Amino acid sequence: MRSVATFLLLLIAATAHAELTVFAGVEYFNWQEDTSPTVKETGPLLVGGLIWMQDKDKGILFGYRGQVYFGQVNYSGSDLFTGAPLTAKVDYFGVLNEGQLRYRFPLNGNEHLDAVLAAGADIWRRQFSDSDQVEDWGVIYARFGAELGPSQGKPGLIAALGLKYPVYTYENANLTDIGFDQNPTLTPGKDWSAYASIGYRFGGNWSVVGYYDSYRFKESQTVQATLNGTQYTLFQPKSSMNVLGIQVLYSF
């Protein structure tokens, strides 16, 4: 009982010295696959979520970010079986959860600089609006970088810069839904990508932030699946995702 009580007191103390932020925004999504003809998906996505951050002047602190994103984008590419040029609409829905470990360095005035090491799970579904073709993706990533920001309740500049790496990748193309006899999963290859943001906090509560985010995936391994007695060799091509967005945030 003493241990439980001690844990609850520590949890309450940590929450009492923390900042909660809710946010919403819109981002321009660009997905491209290294194929011939090139596969492109472009269009707006809506995004929203929350951030929990310990409030300390310096030293080690912890944070969490959770968000959802969704929307419909334009597809330009080719038919999976015939290779004929194809345009379509694709629906996206995704959920991201990220834990953060930071070390804070106080700067002059109200600003601080955080060295950030974070790990997250990003899960999304893409589905063609007029067909049964669905893909489920899962990525566990790590990122590290530096973030500049004001003290809690203070106005000031917000900025971030860093690198991200997909430690684990998973792709389920749900092949049996489109007629295949088997549904082997794919493992897109891993590569480094960058992220950055810049914004400003006004009056201590409201903030506006513009940002860039990205993924880079190398070509996956090949898998075999049969359809109507014909064997196909399937793989995920080398792919890149780039996002430009803007968010409005309110901190408590």
Amino acid at 18: A
The whole domain housing 218 covers 19-251
Q: Which two structure tokens, joined as six digits, stand for 3? A: 């241990």
* 97 occurs within a structural domain: yes
34 has pLDDT over 80? yes
Contact at 8 Å (CB) between 69 and 92? Answer: yes
| Strands of the chain, DSSP E | 18-33, 39-54, 59-78, 85-106, 111-128, 134-150, 156-172, 189-191, 193-202, 206-218, 223-227, 230-234, 239-251
* 5 occurs within a structural domain: no
Q: What's the confidence (pLDDT) of residue 16? A: 52
Q: How many domains does the chain have?
A: 1
Local confidence band at 12 (pLDDT 50, 70, 90 cut-offs): very low
Tens digit of each residue's pLDDT (9 = 90 or more) over 62-105: 999 999 999 999 999 887 777 788 899 999 999 999 999 999 99
* 4 occurs within a structural domain: no
Please report, rounded to a whole number, the percentage of residues in the chain having pLDDT higher than 90: 82
31 has pLDDT over 80? yes
Higher pLDDT, 248 or 153: 248
* 9 occurs within a structural domain: no
CATH number of the domain that residue 42 is part of: 2.40.128.100
Give the residue among 53, 54, 56, 47 at the shortest CA–CA distance from 93.
47
* 154 occurs within a structural domain: yes
Rounded to 5 degrees, what angle do the CA atoms 139, 145, 151 make?
115
* 48 occurs within a structural domain: yes
* 221 occurs within a structural domain: yes
CB atoms within 10 A of CB 42: 14
Handedness of CA 194, 139, 32, 247 (dihedral sign): negative
* 10 occurs within a structural domain: no
10 has pLDDT over 50? no
Least confident of 138-142, 193-197, 228-232: 228-232
Tens digit of each residue's pLDDT (9 = 90 or more) over 103-135: 999 998 889 999 999 999 999 999 998 888 899
As a whole number, mean pLDDT of residues 192-196 equals 98
Q: What's the confidence (pLDDT) of residue 135? A: 96
d(CA 217, CA 237): 8
Helices (H), the chain: 2-16
**Residue 90: strand, helix, or coil:** strand
Q: What's the confidence (pLDDT) of residue 2? A: 62
